[in-house]
Structure 1
Amino acid sequence: EWVVGQIVKQKLVGGDKTRYADFAVLYRGNHQARVFEEALRSARVPYQLSGGQSFFDKAEIKDVLAYIRLLANPSDDPAFLRAATTPKRGIGEATLGKLNAHAQQHGCSLYEAALSEEAQSALAAANREHLHQFIALMESYRARAEHDDAGGLINNLLGDIGYEAHLLNSEEGKAGEIKWRNVCDLTGWLAKKGEQDGKNIIEIAQTIALMTLLEGKNEEEADAVKLSTLHASKGLEYPYVFLVGCEEGMLPHADSIEESNVEEERRLMYVGITRAKRQLTLTHCIKRKRQGTWQFPEPSRFIDEMPQEDLKILGRKGGDPIVSKEEGRSNLAGLQAMLAAKAKKE
């Protein structure tokens, strides 16, 4: 959140001269990308990910988001198609084909077609019953969507459709468990967003809307923050680079330390450092939760190997705070002005 906050602030300060494409967030492993994707979407900042699959592009995440999109907008036909058929509930090609024909003829959405008695009458009895059950489910959750807390609602919905069982039964080995953990990460984030921002699932759906402004654009054209592994960043440069997770065990990686292969990790760090043309920011956690337990990592040894006169250390004991007093006063003044404006409006 701090990194994304810095990007937003520098973009505002730079105005038209600064583009989102001027910023890159680099990391050692693909698994580090998810929290940055979530933070960027929360701040409505466009981004592109390379060197791995986006968390939001995973099939199981798209499944859950299809239900959320359909709750927020029943006219979203792609969301209807995905939600109606995942998990399988007896709504097949024959049913969808007849709904589509009705929608085309009457210029309406698939959801509206599914509510139509005329369209329903064209279906076989069993197919009509399966469609009724799905629409009744969605209507009941639409009625709750604006009032129920986001986390509780989406967890109830996933329980009602048996999504965990669907994943465990349709995947081999531990793949289903891994996918369900991803879903739990998503629902946990949705619940946290709902509590922190006081938003219902409909409002959160707008926050996590797909970055449609990037569709149809290639990577060179898109004005978006780049998320990338260090390996995938070779040969590229950016005015502002955030090299995150600079901790012992992560960079250098724990496996490399055990195998006495730290030199290769040092070269990787050098790749990251030299991607920055104007400003390089290194970050490391004071504590990090891994596999359910808290860890307290040490800053990467590579930071101490850098020319100390070129570094400005923030947030460490005895050093300058991450947020200076001037920034703090400015942030407080902005907050007070916003509250005063809101009070006046009310």
Structure 2
Amino acid sequence: ENYRSHSNILDAANAIISHNQNRLGKNLWTSAGKGEPVRIYEAYNDTDEAQFIVDEIKMLHAEGTSLGDIAMLYRSNAQSRVIEHALFSANLPYRVYGGLRFFERAEIKHSLAYMRLIANANDDTALLRVINFPTRGIGARTLEQLQVEARAANCSLWQAAVNRVGDGKKGVKGIEGFVALVREMTDQAYGISLSEVAEIATALSGLKSYYQSTKEGEDRIENLEELVTAAVAFTNQDLGNHNNVDGDTEQDLLTQFLSHASLEAGEHQANVGHDALQLMTVHASKGLEFRTVFISGLEEGLCPHEQSMYESNGLEEERRLMYVAVTRARQRLYLSHAQSRMLHGKVRYGIPSRFLDEIPEELLKRLNSKPVKRSGSPNYNELPHRMNNAKSSEQKNAMPWRIGQSVDHKKFGNGVVVSYEGSVEDMRVQVNFGNAGLKWLALEFAKLTPI
């Protein structure tokens, strides 16, 4: 027996997990009564989804629910950024459980430090953070000597470095290499968009390459890519979409973005003991319970995560995670998904997660859409077998695009790869083109361009 959740929530969880083949036939039950239906919200985009969640939280709080008894769950850490921004804008206190707020994460701080150096190379704090990260052979003694030289010349650390090595030397270690790198980044950043500056700060700096070889690399790289998305969103929100602008305008935009990042990384996270909304990944939520739970980003490729398609039993593990997430709620559960989402700086059109289809309709309350059979929607029961078990290495090599990848088609426009079917000779790819709908294309004639 589960003493926490009402039966509508448990029935939804049991219905989802029943689609797993390798499971013991044990269902949770409760004597607490049916309770409220599971609420589903279909958002236009990720910003709309975040705003809906904020509005509902305000309403619940006004009706007497403490913020500490409301949890916001998401599949991966990078998804927290857009929600954090909405909470910050609404002045709602929140706490990231088992992790850091987006702009406080080490990889984001490193990227922002490189962006600060592009904006102003004389920023000593930014320089000290990344002069030897990723490591380039600048030890504590060298740094100490540089600080002595800066004090003696009454100048910034950057000026002291330039005094020592001039323009530096590309591709070498030490201070020479660092000076050359910052000069190259600054030169490349002139006159380009803010999101492209963020790309330079994450890629040219060597941060992405560094994290590719670390234990939590995938998560950190997702966060770095979300920083590019944050830059796109900031540009669109504050100054319209700048395509043809002079360097000074973009430099000014960069300064504003860095100020915005400092604000959001400020003292907004609630102190321990104060009433605050709880934000966390599904993994971090295990063993916890809340009166009200929001689970966001329920789209194919996010939840279930696209990586699970390529792993043995990956989909079953994703379904177990969804089961955990759903059973964190005692009385009220919200599930949300977005028709489009900004990922890695590009708009990606998604389709609702298969987990939503696995919940019986009688348990649901759709807040803004009617259940409509999506013509041409993928056969989810077949998909895991096609992706995990039945693929030979030859078939896998024949798949030029990963599930969830954004692609472009001359006729249908931008879309996202949903699934594959068929043998090597007659393989087809299914792509969701948003307004143009789901399309099956013969791989031989698909003519898709990765975005």
- Of the candidates 155, 170, 173, which is equivalent to residue 199 of structure 2? 155
TM-score, L = length of structure 2: 0.48
Which amino acid letter does the alignment assign opposite residue 73 of structure 2? Answer: L
* Aligned partners of 2:296 and 2:337 also within 8 Å: yes
* Aligned partners of 1:114 and 1:131 also within 8 Å: no
Instruction: Say if 2:318 is the partner of 1:272.
Output: no
1:159-205 superposed Cα distances (whole Å, 9 cap, x missing partner): 6545555556xx37x98788656534433442453245338222222
How many angstroms does 1:314 deviate by? 1.6
Instruction: Say if 2:136 is the partner of 1:82.
Output: no
- Partners of 1:257 and 1:161 in 2: CA distance: 33
* Aligned partners of 2:73 and 2:282 also within 8 Å: yes
Which amino acid letter does the alignment assign opposite residue 134 of structure 2? Answer: P
Instruction: Say if 2:121 is the partner of 1:67.
Output: no
Determine what percentage of the aligned residue pairs are the same residue. Answer: 22
Q: Partner of 1:65: helix, strand, or coil?
A: helix
How many angstroms does 1:2 deviate by? 2.7
How many angstroms does 1:265 deviate by? 6.8
> What is aligned with 2:265?
211
Which amino acid letter does the alignment assign opposite residue 255 of structure 2? Answer: I
> Where do 1:54-203 residues align within 5 Å?
59-71=106-118, 77-89=124-136, 91-101=138-148, 112-115=156-159, 125=164, 131=175, 134=178, 138=182, 148-157=192-201, 161-164=205-208, 171=213, 183-198=224-239, 200-203=253-256
- Partners of 1:135 and 1:64 in 2: CA distance: 17
> What is aligned with 1:2?
48
Instruction: Say if 2:287 is the partner of 1:234.
Output: yes
Structure 1: 5+ residue stretches without partners: 319-346
- Partners of 1:214 and 1:44 in 2: CA distance: 7
Compared CA separation, residues 144 and 223, structure 1 to 2 (3 A)? farther
Q: Partner of 1:282: helix, strand, or coil?
A: strand
Which amino acid letter does the alignment assign opposite residue 272 of structure 1? Answer: R
- Partners of 2:285 and 2:271 in 1: CA distance: 20
> What is aligned with 2:360?
304
* Aligned partners of 1:26 and 1:241 also within 8 Å: yes
Compared CA separation, residues 23 and 187, structure 1 to 2 (3 A)? same
Compared CA separation, residues 61 and 230, structure 1 to 2 (3 A)? closer
Which amino acid letter does the alignment assign opposite residue 265 of structure 2? Answer: M
TM-score, L = length of structure 1: 0.59
How many angstroms does 1:59 deviate by? 4.6
Q: Partner of 1:151: helix, strand, or coil?
A: helix
* Aligned partners of 1:95 and 1:127 also within 8 Å: no
* Aligned partners of 2:300 and 2:350 also within 8 Å: no
- Partners of 1:270 and 1:167 in 2: CA distance: 32
Q: Which has the higher helix share?
A: 1
- Partners of 1:290 and 1:114 in 2: CA distance: 34
- Partners of 1:214 and 1:232 in 2: CA distance: 22
1:237-273 superposed Cα distances (whole Å, 9 cap, x missing partner): 25x53123557894799887976997x6786355233
- Partners of 1:94 and 1:201 in 2: CA distance: 33
- Partners of 1:50 and 1:99 in 2: CA distance: 39
Q: Partner of 2:134: helix, strand, or coil?
A: coil
Compared CA separation, residues 146 and 24, structure 1 to 2 (3 A)? farther
* Aligned partners of 1:242 and 1:281 also within 8 Å: yes
> What is aligned with 1:336?
none
Q: Which has the higher strand share?
A: 2
* Aligned partners of 1:248 and 1:300 also within 8 Å: no
> What is aligned with 2:88?
44
Q: Partner of 1:242: helix, strand, or coil?
A: strand
Compared CA separation, residues 132 and 281, structure 1 to 2 (3 A)? same
Compared CA separation, residues 16 and 176, structure 1 to 2 (3 A)? closer
Q: Partner of 2:279: helix, strand, or coil?
A: strand
How many angstroms does 1:150 deviate by? 0.5
